[in-house]
Amino acid sequence: MKYLKKYRLFESMNEKEIHSICKEYGIENYTINSDGTIDVDGDVDLINRYLTKLPLRFNRVSGYFSCNRNNLTSLEGAPQSVGGDFDCDNNQLTSLEGAPQSVGGDFHCYNNKLTSLEGAPQSVGGYFSCNKNNLTSLEGAPQSVGGNFYCANNKLTSLEGLEFKSFKKINLQNNPIYEIVKDWINKDNREELIEYFVDMGIIQEGGDKPKLIMMRLEAFHEDIGLKIRNITPNYLFFAYNQISFYEVKKYYEIVN
The Cα–Cα gap between 82 and 64 comes to 7
- Compute the C-alpha angle 238/241/246, nearest 5°: 80
- Distance from first CA to last CA of the chain, Å, rounded? 59
Q: Write down the pLDDT at residue 231.
A: 55
Tell me the domain boundaries of the chain: 1-175, 179-256
Write down the architecture of domain 1-175 according to CATH: Alpha-Beta Horseshoe (3.80)
Q: Write down the pLDDT at residue 117.
A: 95
The Cα–Cα gap between 102 and 79 comes to 9
**Beta carbons of 59 and 79 less than 8 angstroms apart:** yes
Question: Backbone dihedral region of 90: left (phi > 0), alpha (psi from -120 to 50 degrees) or beta?
Answer: left
The Cα–Cα gap between 95 and 128 comes to 16
Per-position pLDDT tens, the chain of length 256: 333 344 444 556 889 999 999 999 999 999 999 999 999 999 999 999 999 999 999 999 999 999 999 999 999 999 999 999 999 999 999 999 999 999 999 999 999 999 999 999 999 999 999 999 999 989 999 999 999 999 999 999 999 888 777 888 999 999 999 999 999 999 888 889 999 999 999 999 988 999 999 999 999 999 998 877 665 554 444 334 578 888 899 999 999 8
**Ramachandran angles phi, psi of 149, nearest 5°:** -110, 110
Q: Write down the pLDDT at residue 232.
A: 56
Which is it for strands 128-129 and 107-108: parallel, antiparallel or unpaired? parallel
Amino acid at 132: K
- Other residues' Cβ atoms within 10 Å of the Cβ of residue 117: 24
The Cα–Cα gap between 144 and 141 comes to 9
